[in-house]
Structure 1
Amino acid sequence: MTISSTPEGVSVEPRHLRFDVSEDLKTLWHGNDAFRTAFFNALSLQFPDGEQQFINAVRLYRDRIEDPKLKAEIRGFIGQEALHSREHREYNDALKARGYDIDALDRRFRKHMEWVGKLPPSRQLAGTCGAEHYTAVLANAILRHPEWMEGASPTMARLWRWHAIEETEHKSVAFDVYRECVGNERLRRIVFLFVTWNFFKYTFLNTCSLLKTDGKLWSLRTWLGGINFLWGKPGVLRTCLPEFLAYFRKGFHPWQQDNRDLLERTLKELELAPPAR
């Protein structure tokens, strides 16, 4: 019996791309806007350790999966996340070279990730499903609303859209593993509450830390622009909120948001071929 729910036409395979963002990250690369730049940089700071934890959580159950399609997608998921972690580690190193205290921010988040890594496997996998939901919804929104990246340097825009493509491609892999090996709907929802708190907590703290280094932490104009970006127009978080909350629905599944057309269109725009199976 096939357990994988990844739809026809979607392939979960890593693309071995490299992005040299060292020069871009010496600037306010997102339209010379301090808040938008800090917000995306704050997200990046969570990816190297966070995505390694996603890999670890899925590996705990990999040997229990018999479906050949899902087994192959687990390999692809691990490959994609490993490359995301590598590229964002280099991204974060470039932020450090600019003068941000990235080591302190890494220590704070790594301490949390070390705690997560000591939880029972079922909770680790539930946490991975919840975090993957956030990345999938944000990925869909970045691809569907290219205006959100208007003013971004071409290299940075391409990096974020590449990451969004692959997060979309593998958005159901951890979920399918959880559904097959754990299947506890109550645990899935409860853990999502903790994931939600920590996702917004660390994104906010990291954004504040980066803005402080930029001398913009107490700038009313910076924060008004940031609040408008997140909750007004374009309203990044406001737009995503219904999809975030969809995770609590009975019978929820990531591919209920079927955005295969968006994937295909974006791959053509970026001139990236779907990875061969």
Structure 2
Amino acid sequence: MTELVVRKLLIDLEQPVQRHWCSGDAFLTAWFNALSMSFPVGEQFFIDSVRNGLKALPSEKQSALRDEVQGFIGQEATHRRIHALFNGQIEKHGLVNEWAPRADQRMKLLEGTDPRHSLAITAANEHFTALFAEWMLSHHQVLDGCEPRLKTLWLWHSAEEAEHKCTAFDLYQALDGSHTWRVKWMRRITLVFLMDAVRQTVNNLQHDGTLWRWSTWRSAARHMFGRQGLLRTCYKPWRAYFREDFHPAQQSSDLSENWLRDNRAQFTRVGQPEAA
């Protein structure tokens, strides 16, 4: 079982955020803004999924996972709240969040279904975010030109995503979720997530007026498909998810642990909410 600490991030998001806050790079700014736009509704879905998954377990199994689930819920609730504040700032630049309502409608289709479906979806998304988190923590130079508070926001979120990457997966396994369902949902989530991320990024660039600039496309090619680009770097660990013997703990969390250890001054520890 993983001990998950709920942390209060000590940054001020009441102050305005610059239009191209990510190192002055229009593409990176639009990409990260798109991801942030998906977080509040997504984090709430993940919270509901693990809460319902825990309730579906026999009482004797619940006790083994209850503390970890409480920590997961606390961390995700904090992410949801702080990204809602961040989104409020970036929307002042005229951006329109089309991802969240689209995702919310899809999630409503799962109401009343077997809780393992929602857990399989959550586990797939958590694998995605853990891969992105590891990339962020190992390529933090992309944030070097950011305001310190925004660099801290994204690296803290990345560190916690890597920290709790096992929770939904472990719940799914505890409920005897099948390998077939798990990989089927990962295929679907991969397609839907990438399509949504691209659509919202393009939407952001259109509203920003930078979609057709050469510098925008050059940055996209470099940071997504370059030798150290996100998609190229994450492909092999993404493929690992399809192995029947896969477990998220097989992938190192050293970068997450190191960042949380070295940046303790950026947050305080808070109490954890009840899981049910």
Tell me which of 8, 18, 29 is aligned to 1:37.
29
What is the TM-score of this pair, normalised by structure 1? 0.89
Other-structure match for 1:225: 219
Other-structure match for 2:93: 98
Unaligned runs of 5+ in 1: none
Tell me which of 133, 138, 142 is aligned to 2:132.
138
- What CA deviation, in whole Å up to 9, does each residue of 1:177-235 have, x standing for no partner? 00010330111000100110111011101100100011112223311221111111531
Q: Does 1:123 align with 2:113?
A: no
Other-structure match for 1:48: 40
Tell me which of 93, 101, 111 is aligned to 1:107.
101
Q: CA deviation at 1:149?
A: 2.2
Provide the secondary structure at the position in 1 that maps to 2:211: coil
1:186-205 equivalent positions in 2, closer than 5 A: 186-205=180-199
Cα RMSD, aligned residues only: 2.1
Q: Is the 8 A contact 2:31 2:197 kept in 1?
A: yes
Rounded Cα–Cα distance in structure 2 between residues aligned with 1:22 and 1:275: 21
Q: Is the 8 A contact 2:23 2:142 kept in 1?
A: no
Q: Does 1:87 align with 2:87?
A: no
Rounded Cα–Cα distance in structure 2 between residues aligned with 1:71 and 1:190: 27
Q: CA deviation at 1:254?
A: 0.3
Q: CA deviation at 1:108?
A: 2.6
The 1:24/1:30 distance shift into structure 2, 3 A limit, reads farther
What is the TM-score of this pair, normalised by structure 2? 0.89
Rounded Cα–Cα distance in structure 2 between residues aligned with 1:69 and 1:148: 39
- What CA deviation, in whole Å up to 9, does each residue of 1:134-175 have, x standing for no partner? 011111221122223222221111001111111111110111
Other-structure match for 1:74: 69
Provide the secondary structure at the position in 2 that maps to 1:15: strand
Rounded Cα–Cα distance in structure 1 between residues aligned with 2:268 and 2:244: 32
* More moved, 196-205 vs 224-233: 224-233
Other-structure match for 1:20: 12
Letter in 2 for 1:96: E
Rounded Cα–Cα distance in structure 1 between residues aligned with 2:196 and 2:231: 15
Provide the secondary structure at the position in 2 that maps to 1:128: helix
Q: Does 1:182 align with 2:179?
A: no
1:186-265 equivalent positions in 2, closer than 5 A: 186-259=180-253, 261-265=254-258
Letter in 2 for 1:33: D
Q: CA deviation at 1:23?
A: 4.2
Q: Is the 8 A contact 2:53 2:116 kept in 1?
A: no
Q: CA deviation at 1:37?
A: 0.6
Unaligned runs of 5+ in 2: 272-276
Q: Is the 8 A contact 1:48 1:84 kept in 2?
A: yes
Provide the secondary structure at the position in 2 that maps to 1:16: strand
| Number of residue equivalences | 267
The 1:205/1:22 distance shift into structure 2, 3 A limit, reads farther
